[in-house]
């Protein structure tokens, strides 16, 4: 898609930018405040992993509309060391760096779709999607009587 947002990731500042850009893009689609925070958090976790484990990579943000179902797609990819055991990496509390080990499993829970492909020595690609809920209200609630 032509309106893909391609963001190089190599520093903490880039992580913050990706988080903000993702939030802005999702807001344009009509996501609510709460979901915007979930999406932004998922983006910063995968972007932070790029900085921490691969040194550099990119986050690509795009909008999609499958069968009239709008959503945001986040792709985080790097050509870093890769992940030898994905099952382990997706487990709560697993970290090779003495961190919380909640980044990947957390991002997975926060988004609707989550896919990770990784090859040792080649790199890692995380693809996440979040669909706009159908019930998203575009009008204010009338005050309670
Ligand atoms: N892009 C990546 N390249 C290589 N290894 C990765 C990458 N992302 C994650 N990993 C590996 O998967 C493990 C789990 O990642 P996860 O983000 O869940 O936890 P963490 O980064 O260790 O801790 P936290 O994110 O909670 O601070 C990491 O410790 C690391 O070994
Ligand atoms: Mg992490």
Q: Inform me whether the pLDDT recorded for 10 exceeds 70.
A: yes
Q: Work out which ligand 1 atom sits closest to the CA atom of 102.
A: 26
Kind plus residue range of the DSSP H or E element containing 129: strand 123-131
Tokens describing residue 127? 């693809």
**Is the minimum distance from the CB of 44 to ligand 1 under 6 angstroms?**
no
Q: What is the pLDDT of residues 91-130, one digit of tens each?
A: 999 999 999 999 999 999 999 999 999 999 999 999 999 9
Distance of alpha carbon 91 from alpha carbon 109, whole angstroms? 12
Q: Is the CB of 57 under 6 A from ligand 1?
A: no
- Residue 62 pairs in a beta bridge with 73
Residue nearest to atom 17 of ligand 1 (CA): 103
Ordered domains of the chain (ranges, CATH): 5-131 (3.30.565.10)
């Amino acid at each position: 898609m032509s309106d893909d947002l391609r963001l190089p990731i190599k520093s903490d500042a880039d992580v913050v930018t990706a988080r903000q850009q993702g939030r802005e893009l999702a807001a344009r689609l009509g996501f609510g405040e709460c979901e915007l925070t979930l999406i932004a958090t998922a983006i910063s976790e995968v972007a932070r992993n790029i900085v921490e484990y691969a040194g550099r990579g990119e986050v690509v943000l795009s909008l999609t509309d499958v069968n009239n179902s709008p959503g945001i797609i986040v792709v985080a990819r790097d050509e870093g060391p890769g992940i030898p055991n994905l099952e382990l990496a997706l487990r709560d509390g697993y970290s090779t760096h003495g961190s919380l080990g909640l980044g990947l499993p957390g991002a997975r829970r926060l988004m609707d779709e989550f896919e990770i492909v990784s090859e040792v020595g080649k790199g890692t690609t995380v693809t996440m999607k979040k669909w706009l809920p159908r019930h998203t209200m575009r009008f204010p609630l009338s005050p309670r009587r």
